[in-house]
Structure 1
Amino acid sequence: MIRFIKRSMVRVLVAVTNGSEEIELLTPLDLLRRCQAEVVLAASGNSLEVTLGKGVRIIADDLISNVSNQDFDMIVVPGGPGTGNLRDDPILIEMLRRQKQSQKWYAAICAAPALVFETHGLLEGEVGTCYPSCEKQLHNKSRVHDRVVVSNKCITSKGPGTAMEFALKLVEALYGQEKADELSHTIVFR
């Protein structure tokens, strides 16, 4: 059973970089904002303007470097062709390490569980799943066929086709099952 935060304003950082996958980025961001979470879309690097994996251009709310000392209830990392940029961002990695050490939620989808989390030891003591072509990089492969995996305070998912389930699991983690079910019904998902 997932224990959830019982306060009015939940803060979430969603990382973004050039090449982030659109569905994996925007689905969690959208659903969390529908729950009234304060979601900060933070860009890796030094530009707020980001071109996503399929060419969609967006403007981030802030830079990861500007919010690195802020406290977040959850950090979400999308996959996509730009995942290596997030893997190589030392500020984001330090934030994720603090998040894990503080036993706060952190989540990744697609290539990010393997390239970002596994590479930096963030899956140590956890099980997870990821995009099929990245599965060989996971140390613990016991749950790689699951669409979404919750392991302690770590949530991972397979890819664009699982983005809605992933996002609803994030909502459940932060707000509880009832809120996730209500949102699922509202958006006509289930």
Structure 2
Amino acid sequence: MKKNAIILLADGFEEIEAITPYDLLNEAGVETKLISVSDETNVTGTNGLKVIADGLLKEIDTKKADCLIIPGGAGYQILKKEQSVLDLIQSFAKQPDKVLGAICAGSSILGELGIYQGKNYTCVPGLNGDFGGHYEKVHAVIDGNLVTGISVGGAMEFAYDLVEVLCSKEKKEALERQTCTIV
């Protein structure tokens, strides 16, 4: 059965942190959709990239998604103020058969929700609070169904780790060879 993922977008999303997982997950055969948390499908990234989301959060059935991804960028401020987003994050965190991914400032939202209690994680160092888990200053961390990334510099590794958790280590390695990460 084909896996699917949703990446939540708010104005100010960090382009590389959203588009890199979008691209690599689709390359791996994971149907991945960009989903706007606002009332419009037009979303503008931190650096001005304009994208048309595949849908609106309020109109999609998130229960069908195997993976939820929270990018960083200034848009994380919007995401963390949306109760529907916070509820969705907490729902994914509680389901071991679902994958929850967050990178950079997006990862700090999970920390603020208490999701890192007793877990290994990473996030942008400037937003790492006392989240009750074990912080690792590395590009990406996998802990069970949780995948976290540090920032733009870790976007590729974060995306590959999502592929590993959603698909398999073999699929991740094949994709690394296909994209010339491993030459």
* Class of the TM-score when normalised by the shorter of the 2 chains: over 0.9
Calculate percent identity across the aligned residue pairs.
28
Q: Tell me which residue corresponds to 1:166.
A: 158
Relative to 1, partners in 2 of residues 1:83 and 1:10: Cα closer, same or farther, differing over 3 Å?
A: same
Q: Tell me which residue corresponds to 2:138.
A: 146
Q: Tell me which residue corresponds to 2:13.
A: 20
| One-letter identity of the residue aligned with 1:25 | A
Contact 1:128–1:150 (8 Å) recurs in 2 = yes
Contact 1:128–1:140 (8 Å) recurs in 2 = no
Out of 74, 81, 90, the position equivalent to 1:88 is 81
Q: May I ask how many residue pairs the two structures share in their alignment?
A: 181
Relative to 1, partners in 2 of residues 1:41 and 1:138: Cα closer, same or farther, differing over 3 Å?
A: farther
Offset of residue 69 of structure 1: 4.5
| Alpha-carbon distance between aligned partners in 1 of 2:125 and 2:76, rounded to the nearest angstrom | 15
Relative to 1, partners in 2 of residues 1:19 and 1:144: Cα closer, same or farther, differing over 3 Å?
A: same
| Alpha-carbon distance between aligned partners in 1 of 2:87 and 2:70, rounded to the nearest angstrom | 13
Q: Tell me which residue corresponds to 2:65.
A: 72
Out of 95, 99, 111, the position equivalent to 1:105 is 99
Relative to 1, partners in 2 of residues 1:70 and 1:96: Cα closer, same or farther, differing over 3 Å?
A: same
| Alpha-carbon distance between aligned partners in 1 of 2:115 and 2:60, rounded to the nearest angstrom | 20
Offset of residue 36 of structure 1: 1.9
| Alpha-carbon distance between aligned partners in 2 of 1:161 and 1:69, rounded to the nearest angstrom | 29
Q: Which runs of 5+ in 2 are unaligned?
A: none
Q: Which runs of 5+ in 1 are unaligned?
A: 1-7
Task: Provide the TM-score with structure 1 as the length reference.
Answer: 0.90
Contact 1:108–1:155 (8 Å) recurs in 2 = yes
| Alpha-carbon distance between aligned partners in 2 of 1:141 and 1:122, rounded to the nearest angstrom | 9
Offset of residue 122 of structure 1: 2.4
Contact 1:143–1:149 (8 Å) recurs in 2 = no
| Alpha-carbon distance between aligned partners in 2 of 1:38 and 1:141, rounded to the nearest angstrom | 31
| One-letter identity of the residue aligned with 1:189 | T
| Alpha-carbon distance between aligned partners in 2 of 1:164 and 1:21, rounded to the nearest angstrom | 14
RMSD across aligned C-alpha pairs, in angstroms? 1.4
Offset of residue 71 of structure 1: 2.0
Q: Give a deviation string over 1:68-100, Cα, whole Å, max 9, x none.
A: 543211101100111111111211221221112
| Alpha-carbon distance between aligned partners in 2 of 1:64 and 1:51, rounded to the nearest angstrom | 16
Task: Provide the TM-score with structure 2 as the length reference.
Answer: 0.93
| Alpha-carbon distance between aligned partners in 1 of 2:26 and 2:175, rounded to the nearest angstrom | 11
Out of 100, 104, 124, the position equivalent to 2:117 is 124
| Alpha-carbon distance between aligned partners in 1 of 2:68 and 2:56, rounded to the nearest angstrom | 14
